[in-house]
Amino acid sequence: MPSYQEWNQAIAIHTISIASSGSVVFLNINEQELRRIGIARFRRHKARDWLEDFYTAIRQEVNKNNFVNIKHLYSVDSDSQIPNGVAFLAATVLAAYRMTDENDESGINYFKRLRDILDLQSEKGGRPLGMEGGQEEPLWLAWERWLNQQNFLCGARRKNSNYISYPISQAILRRIDQTSLYRFFKEKNAFFQTTLFDERSLLSTLKPFKDRVTKHLGELLNSQLTRDEDELGSALFQALEDWREGNTSGDNLTVQRLTAGLYRIEDWLSGEIQYSLHPRQRRGVNLENTDVLIDGQLFTLTIERNGWCYPVSNVDSSWLEEGFSFKTQGNQYIHAVVLPKRECWILIRDPEQTDSPDRASWGQPILGEPFILLAQQKHLADLERLKNEGYIQWQDNPREVLSDWLELKDCISLMQDWSEVIVNPKLVEALKPRMSLGLSLSGGLRVGGSWISEYGPKLTVHSFEQELELTIVQLNREDLKTANRINMVIESNKELDVSDWKEPGTYQIRVLSHGQSIERIIGIKAWNELVLTEEVACEALQIGNHQIQGSNWLEVNYDASKSSSK
């Protein structure tokens, strides 16, 4: 049976497994997630009830005669540097997930669930012994520190002095939220059974129905906080998958569908544009041996980076109209890859290789960031109206790149308030800026989510305001005390060289304007911290039946087992 330490490590790794650098990470744990972690991470152990195993490991670690002993978890693992309290925090999030009372200010409901999970035998309610006065908070701070060191932002937040707001903020969809969603899906059974969604299109579809679900979920759907959107979209999509597969009790592991976006490359010589399917990875779903069947041809899915596979197969415009579902083979936990139905696609630059000319539906553009808009021809009149009224702009003439689909290059959304616009609401939802602040980093020498010492990024903050407040703080590894603080007023919409980025470390960049803020975490690495990428060299010089890499002369269809590698 996996130990507490093994669970601790597995949950931490699982949680960041598909997160892109700089993104907000949520410790969004529920029963299905724990089962997924068990299957994906503990394959050497025999199949078992992973949930029960998790309970046993947690109880053995922290339940000392009905006293919650967590102070020893304030430390970090000496090898991996992962904080030792992650598995315990996951148990607290699981308790929040199971809460049935929407307004549990006192925490009675929450602590009852936590007592059950920790198997605390006590007649008293409220905070268990050992957790008085928020003694779990150092574990959350250690978790945040570790995430920051990995260049992620932590989604956990405390509201006022209420410590249970930490786990509640992580349980994006609680069980009662899921139940209300299942009810809503059932009401519109045919629509939700047949429409091909992805995470984002499902979120957009549900937003107008915020009054039909629980108060908590309604507030999330109504929220303007873009930092929660990806996690929320993913949780909603999972709920839809569970409902479609009849797994609403959460007792089994739902066989998944993956979603795909679009990946666009342009031949610099011929000018030819090619769109490919760009499958997304789902958290905790192992993609080993997954082949997707497209037009009678099998394509193997290969992870390209956290959250994304390499693009596969050219896109046929007929797939875009109503979306398309492609069957998969070889993996018992995945049965299809779905290209969703969308009115338009927004393609932005690669967030990790901003110089690359390739564009893909990596996510929403930040304010002020140009993007390529791929829209159905029928929307051209609406788009031109938006352009004439100054809501958006684009360069060059629209170009038909796929049958009935137009491409608009260098599009930018310009207006803050879109409430007066009378065009297709789905276009508005896709095009209106999510935030009134956008922070972009450019230049320097970048490796993944980090830059190299003395070759750090320049900053541009896009805003409707002219002046903004910028704070840059170097986060100390030992505690959250700060050093190297920069605090200045900056001009918006201008590339700025604000720091020499000499000292390696983790930096928090924060921009404030009229109560709105935007945050980024970046790492600065020393030259001697650079390590070889695991990436396999992919380019080669082709000479007849041979490929050359450096001095190595390889047969085509080269069998690695016969290589000259020692």
Partner 1 sequence: MTHPRVRPNKLQVDTGKPSQFQSNEELSVTAQIEYPRWFRGFRTVGNKKDMVQAIANTISRYQLQKWVASLRFEKQARGEFYFFIGFDRLDFGQVPEEIEDTLLQLPRFTNPIGNYYFDQLQTFVTGDLEIHRYGQRLRLPSLRMAALEDPFDQSDDIQNLVDDTHTERWDKLMLWLSALGKGSWETFQRGCQQLQIASKPRQVLRTLRLLGHIETSSDGTKWSINPVTLEGNIEKGYLLLGRRSDKVLNILAQHGEIIIQSMENSPSRVHWRPIDPSSTLQISNLVYTDAINTWVKHLPSIKEWQGYLEVLPDMDLSRFEARIYDGQNFISVTRVEDSGLYQFFMLNVQTKFPRATLYYDQSRKSLYRADWYGLRFLTLYTRQVLHPVKYDSKKQQLAVILDQRFPEFYERLLVLSSGKLPKSQNDWLIYSDISPSLMEIITKKLHLKVEHKNHE
| Closer CB to partner 1, 107 or 365, in the complex | 365
In angstroms, what is the minimal distance from the CB of 78 to partner 1? Answer: 21
Structure-token pair, residue 282: 């789902």
Cβ proximity to partner 1: between 228 and 304 the closer is: 304
- Cβ atoms 357, 348 nearer than 8 A: no
What is the nearest approach in angstroms of partner 1 to the Cβ of residue 354? 7
Q: What is the CA radius of gyration of the chain?
A: 25
> What's the distance, CA 510 to chain centroid?
20
Asked if 398 and 408 count as a contact pair (C-beta separation under 8 A), the reply is yes
Token pair 């338009």: residue: 344
With H, G, I as helix, E, B as strand and everything else as coil, classify residue 178.
Answer: helix
Of residues 74 and 418, the one with the C-beta less far from partner 1: 418
Between residues 85 and 365, which has the closer beta carbon with respect to partner 1? 365
What is the 8-class DSSP label of residue 461? E
Please state the closest distance from residue 533 (CB atom) to partner 1, in A: 3
- Smaller CB separation from partner 1, 126 or 443: 443
Min dist CB 565 to partner 1, Å, is 5
Min separation Cβ 470 and partner 1, Å: 10
Nearer to partner 1, 232 or 367 (CB): 367
Among residues 190 and 532, whose Cβ is nearest to partner 1?
532
* Cα–Cα nearest to 512, from 561, 562, 461: 461
Question: Using CA atoms, how far apart are residues 534 and 262, in angstroms rounded to an integer?
Answer: 26
**Cβ at position 131, least distance to partner 1 in Å:** 41
Contact 11, 90 (CB under 8 A): yes
**Cα distance between residue 323 and residue 338, in whole Å:** 7
**Nearer to partner 1 among residue 318 and residue 552 (C-beta):** 552
In the complex, minimum distance from the CB of residue 291 to partner 1, in angstroms, rounded to a whole number: 24
C-alpha to C-alpha distance for 167 and 13, rounded to whole angstroms: 18
Q: Three-class SS of residue 144?
A: helix
CB of 536 to partner 1, least distance (A): 7
H or E stretch covering 4:
helix 4-16
**Contact (CB, 8 A) for 345 and 262:** yes
Say how far apart CA 403 and CA 391 lie, in whole Å.
26
Written as one letter, the residue type at 344 is C
- Joined together, the tokens standing for residue 433 give 């800026």
Looking at the Cβ atoms of 137 and 358, the one nearer to partner 1 is 358
Q: How far is the CB of 279 from partner 1 (least distance, A)?
A: 19
355 contacts 369 by C-beta, under 8 angstroms: no
Residues forming beta bridges with residue 68, ordered by sequence position = 63
State the Cα angle at 87 between 82 and 93, rounded to 5°.
Answer: 125
